[in-house]
Structure 1
Amino acid sequence: MPLSPKSQALSALYRNCLFRSDDPVDTHEQVTEELSDHVIRWKNGAPDSALFKAELNHLSLYALQYGAQVEVTPRPFDGFTLVHTSLKGEVEIECDGTVMSVTEGRTAVLSPKRSVQLRWLPGTQQFIVKVPDALMLEVSGRSPDAALELTPGRLLPQALASQWDLIAQSLLNIVTQSGDGDIRGEWRDHFERNLALFLLVHQLPPAAAEAPLSLESASNAADARLQHGSAKQMEALLEYIDSRLCAPISLEDLARVAGVSFRTLNVMCRRHHGVTPMELLRNMRLEAARTRLLTEPSCSITDTALAFGFGHLGRFSAYYFARFNELPRDTQKRRQRCA
């Protein structure tokens, strides 16, 4: 379900209100401190501004509203990218000459080099993610002082909307459940890196977007000898997954353990298990989650889902039902009846 002001996933964000004000000067100062120095022109409607914030390891998540119609002209961003999702209303954005209409439910990615201007309609509320360049450089394997060649402004295609919503809601769910153990910090880092990788793959120019995938070309020589993989490699892969069911695992990790490219890894998993590598990982985690629900009466469904890397609780239930033909709560109730 797309993000909206009433989304349950936003509840933790709304609990941390940095300010609420009808004073234009106060609003300008608060938003400048959190996001970027800017000029703001107040137009139609009465000011009813509010800013909510949550922080992860690297990312800052915000919900921002002005109430009135405003025209905001920030300076070009220094060391970060902003991702804007319209929860309610519409924002028209002009970024380095590219004009975008970010209607309700749409998302824009902004990394202006020269100029940016945002025109908010009355009653608009935006979900904003502040992504530091340092995180994207780290994910791409580049040195901290390298330059990111990002598209200055881009409206995320509707075909990618569901992926973005899943990433955003996973991060918000992690915020809701934060502070309950060291493993959560590791998962926060995993989900944050996934967001950065999503932006890199879908915003960098094609030539640059291919650069981080050097593992593929590096493994081509091995592919000539291991076109279909082997039972021994598959066994090593399963052992690796089983040893890290409660820890982040990426597709790159799986390829390295098997010693093959992404393409050959996919062939191996389909040949031996009839699924893709990430589906295999998900299925093994679902099996482990089911075992926990059946054997540990005191465990909660939320904690179980997060322990095995399912940051989006609704998606966890859907995956679980598709695999076991029952919801997690049904498994838990059955275990209680048998106790």
Structure 2
Amino acid sequence: MDCHAQVAKELSEHDLCWKGDNVDTVLFKAAIRQLQIYLLRHGAEVIIRPRLFDGFALVHMTLSGTAEIEADGRKVRIATGRTALIAPKRQLRLWWQAGSEQLILKVPLALFEELSAQADTANLPSLFLLPEQLLSHWDTLIESLLRLVARAGHDNGNSAWIEHFERAAVHFLLSQLTPSVRAAPDAGNAAADASAESLVGAGKSQRLDTLEKYIKTRLSAPLALADLAHAAGVSVRTLNMLCHQYHGVAPMDLLRNIRLDAVRERLLVQPDAKITDTAFEFGFGHLGRFSAYYRERFSELPKHTRRCAR
């Protein structure tokens, strides 16, 4: 009863049908800045019928077990590891398997509107299941947000880049909700390919210059391959060809290298900068992989770079 009341206060008033005797109810909450993260478990099998959300959407991530969500007539089953955006207009019903555990991100609709002049929140889909091939990008971003929550005094002196991480999460969702981005990367791009293939050296170089400028203004944003191709104005296949021709690496490797260069420049200019904070700021959510990438590119670890700069 206490948990029911608290969930209603935090998210939405709701009817709860308890379909078992196992009581193992847990609610954790962490607020970052504009976003809030909840971990919720009921223990028993439950059916939840919330009232319509007031000024926010939810991102529902199943950590264990299975959930089923029905919003405005559309129904999806969310197995462990899957993620869905929920923004119902008329009705919502959720079924959670006994013992399932859910991670829930609460996103203000005002943030969607702020980050995209084209985003009419009235047109947000009632229910959108994040494509499976994008889950690794989303998981990396959520892992970074959770690391911020876990750091004592995470908002102390770091408000600018904490806000950047929050906005990056919403940017990622918006990029998947935009029809031009959701389309298959190479579908219908024959004309773009033909145009790019006809470019001479200066034209190809200009496309890559545009791409690099795009990346440098989004150093911590979760960018997919389709985003890079869209920024360069070519198909994924053509972008891959251009990056190998001019840089000798694939597009996503180019993105990582530009970010590593930005980290190194920061450590050389500001040797007192914290390595962990700098890695997060420039889009590296996994510190172990970051150190390996850094050493591979510069033949030294970040701490050695900082030591030499002092």
| Offset at residue 227 of structure 1 (A) | 2.1
Distance 1:37 1:250, change over 3 A: closer
Unaligned segments of structure 1, at least 5 residues: 1-23, 211-219, 252-259
Q: Does the aligned pair in 2 maintain the 1:186–1:248 contact within 8 Å?
A: no
TM-superposed CA distance for 1:190, in Å, is 2.1
Equivalent AA in structure 2 for residue 34 of structure 1: E
CA RMSD of aligned residues (A): 4.1
Per the alignment, residue 18 of structure 1 pairs with: none
Cα deviation 1:159-200 (Å, max 9, x = unaligned): 11111101211222233341342xx32222222222212222
In 2, the alpha carbon distance for the partners of 1:336 and 1:142 equals 46
Shift of 1:110: 0.9
Q: Distance in 2 between matches of 1:56 and 1:170?
A: 12
Distance in 1, Cα, partners of 2:6 & 2:166: 25
**Structure 1 letter corresponding to 2:26:** A
Q: 2:75 aligns with which of 91, 99, 102?
A: 99
Q: Secondary structure at the match of 2:233?
A: helix
Query: For the residues of structure 2 that align with 1:261 and 1:69, how far apart are their CA atoms?
Result: 46
Q: Distance in 1 between matches of 2:16 and 2:209?
A: 58
Aligned position for 1:88 = 64
TM score, norm. by length of structure 1: 0.67
**TM-score when normalising by structure 2:** 0.72
Counterpart of 2:29? 53
2:232 match: 262
Q: How far apart in 2 are the matches of 1:201 and 1:78?
A: 23
Q: What amino acid does structure 2 have at the position aligned with 1:263?
A: G
Q: Which runs of 5+ in 2 are unaligned?
A: 184-194, 224-229
Q: 2:94 aligns with which of 102, 111, 118?
A: 118
| Inter-partner Cα distance in structure 2 for 1:48 and 1:300 | 40
Secondary structure at 1:46 match in 2: coil
Amino acid at match of 1:160: L
SS in structure 2 of the partner of residue 128 of structure 1: strand
Question: Could you list the runs of 4 or more consecutive aligned residues of structure 1 that deviate by over 4 angstroms after TM superposition?
Answer: 207-210, 247-251, 266-272, 274-281, 290-300, 333-337
Identity of aligned residues (%): 43
Match of 2:277 in 1: 303
Per-residue CA deviations over 1:83-125 (Å, capped at 9, x if unaligned) read 1111122112112222222121111221111111111122111
Q: Distance in 2 between matches of 1:288 and 1:176?
A: 25
Distance 1:174 1:310 in 2: 13
**Aligned with 2:280: secondary structure?**
helix
| Corresponding residue for residue 11 of structure 1 | none
Query: 2:248 & 2:242 partners in 1: Cα distance?
Result: 9
Contact 2:11–2:53 (8 Å) recurs in 1: no
Count of residues in correspondence between the two structures: 283
**Alignment match of 1:76 (pick from 52, 57, 71):** 52
Q: Tell me: CA distance 1:134–1:295, structure 2 relative to 1, closer, same or farther (3 Å).
A: closer
Change (3 A) 1:284 1:197: closer
CA drift of 1:63 comes to 0.8
